[in-house]
Amino acid sequence: MTVSDPERTRWFLRNILPHEPALRAWLGRKQRSGINVDDIVQEAYTILASQPAYQAIRHPRGYLFQIAHSLVVRHIRRARIVDIQAVEDLDQWDTAGAAPSLEQGAIARDELRYLAETIAVMPEKTREAFILRRVRGLSHRDIARQMKISESTVEKHIARGLRLLAERFTRDVTVSPGSDDQSQGAARDEITGNKSKR
Amino acid sequence: MKSRETSQSVDIAASEWAAKIDNGPLTPQETAALKDWLEGDSRRPGALFRARAVSMYSESARALGPHYNPDDFTETPAAAPRLSRRTMLAWGGGLAASLAVTVGVGLSLSSSQAYATARGEMRLIPLGDGSTMLLNTATSVEVEFGSERRLVRVLEGETYFEVTADARRPFVVEVGGQQLGASASAFMVRRLEGGPVDVLVRSGNIELLKPGRATSLTANTHLAMTVRDDSVLTSAEAAAVAPEVLSRQLAWREGKIALHGETLAFASQAFARYSDVHIQITDPALANESITGLFSANDPVGFSRSVARIFGANLSVQPDAIVLSR
């Protein structure tokens, strides 16, 4: 499994995770099919976690969308009562979302500031534990001693920090209703307070 | 219908496993429990995969440096900068410089602020206008934001800029007496020990402002300049760089040194910028061996250990030096 494979994790971080907001937006637009977006995303990642030849995937974004699409098909077929509308929608699934993104570098560019800002808005204790762990590099045991809490509480704080980070990294994109995929980059730029092109 | 675990609670459990793994190797009992958990639901391995990736991403927080103050990042970039005690102190320190500078600028009211990092230190500085600069080891800069322009002087070291555009106030970086004008862009400026100047443009546009005309640099461009007496430009050469070369050059932002076939002598110099404990290579043939890999900039011992293993060298770690011999 992925637990001890940093290479695969790094590949996922660089090539898949940046596309999660677009994937969620794309799946979210298909509300009527009655699918659970979170379920699809998690299951798609499970498939990628055990994909043997992941390094050979030439278009990770397209591949991710393809996996998600086939999972949606499977979910809808498995449902007891099939919504006729959902089946019709399936046929019309556009592939615009799967096209290479123009703003692939959007996240990478502001990565460190994004991190700095996300840590800054964490709840107080979580923030303290997270900074001691990630910025100062202390062990969980040393953090527990310094904060006068148990090691398992430290672990809970770190876990919570990771969730908040994931939340912001992959969901915190305001997409106006009906907007197409190309607006993704613009939406993220708004959040990071970035750029007005000359 | 049997009630199904929500994907949210799958995420919570996954993040707790990721935190546990982050703390060190799992015990055999924990490993077994993790295996059971993963096999219980087809969403769990994916959720853990994602949590591990986010955990890996968060490791670059190390690059925020010991001066990282979360309060600097809690406001929106547009908000007026607050006068924290820290800022006041820094301003006091930069007072002399600020006076000297204001005279030169004339009417435009501005104050200058100095920032520096020690050897082995890294520091991310938000500039109040939404721009940021990341100072690498042993770097010193001066910031002077006025009503007409935003000026940063790079005195020494290596700085990575992420600039937000402001049509009313151009962003200018001064290095070795030369000026670079930046639009919305990301770029690195390096000058070590008064030597040549390197500029690497990652995105956006940078202009080398020369009397008479400007040279424009686009993304994935490297500009090498030599200057005399900190004022006269003696040569300037721009060349395209491949994105992977660019990422290697910028690996320091994650606290890493990226080597790709460089000699051990070169590597030893690269590490010397980050630590007072230098790597000494006594054997000339060994110094000439080439190495490839991504190494922690603040861990010369770890690097030397790998080198010793790869090249069958002897390693001796002394208080003030690391000696590699053959």
Distance CA A48, CA A46 (A): 5
Write down the pLDDT at residue A83.
53
Q: How far, in whole angstroms, is CA B170 from its chain's centroid?
A: 23
Please tell me if the domain spanning B65-246 has the same topology as the one spanning B255-325: no
Q: Render pLDDT for B145-171 as a digit per residue (tens, 0 to 9).
A: 988 899 999 999 999 999 999 989 999
Write down the pLDDT at residue A84.
53
- Beta-bridge partners for B206: B182, B217
Q: Render pLDDT for A167-188 as a digit per residue (tens, 0 to 9).
A: 887 765 433 223 333 333 333 3
Write down the pLDDT at residue A14.
82
The residue among A98, A106, A126, A78 whose CA lies nearest residue A23 is A98
Parallel, antiparallel, or unpaired: how do β-strands B290-296 and B256-263 relate?
Answer: antiparallel
Q: How far, in whole angstroms, is CA A71 from its chain's centroid?
A: 17
Are A195 and B184 inside 8 Å of each other by CB? yes
Are A46 and B186 inside 8 Å of each other by CB? no
Write down the pLDDT at residue A173.
46
Render the burial of B83-116: b for 16+ CB within 10 Å, e for the rest. eeeeeeeeeeebeebbeebbeeeeeeebbbbbbe
The ipTM, to two decimals, is: 0.78
Sign of the C-alpha dihedral computed for residues B17, B23, B24 and B26 taken in this order: negative
- Distance from B15 to chain A by nearest Cα, in Å? 5
Are B62 and A163 inside 8 Å of each other by CB? no
Mutation site for B-interface testing, chosen from A1, A2, A3 by largest number of B Cβ within 10 Å: A3
Out of B18, B52, B73, closest to residue A116 by CB:
B73
Write down the pLDDT at residue A108.
45
Write down the pLDDT at residue A190.
29
Q: What is the mean pLDDT of residues B305-326?
A: 88
Class of domain B255-325: alpha beta
Average pLDDT of chain B is 84
Class of domain B65-246: mainly beta
Q: Where are the domains of chain B?
A: 7-61, 65-246, 255-325
Write down the pLDDT at residue B97.
41
Q: Render pLDDT for B67-121 as a digit per residue (tens, 0 to 9).
A: 788 888 875 444 334 434 443 334 333 333 443 343 334 344 557 899 999 888 8
Could you tell me the pLDDT band of residue A192, with boundaries at 50, 70 and 90? very low
At B270, is the secondary structure helix, strand, or coil? Answer: helix
Distance CA B89, CA B122 (A): 20
Please report how many Cα atoms fall inside a 13 Å half-sphere around the Cα of residue B35, on the Cβ side: 7
Mutation site for B-interface testing, chosen from A4, A7, A195 by largest number of B Cβ within 10 Å: A195
Phi, psi of A60 (to 5 degrees): -55, -40
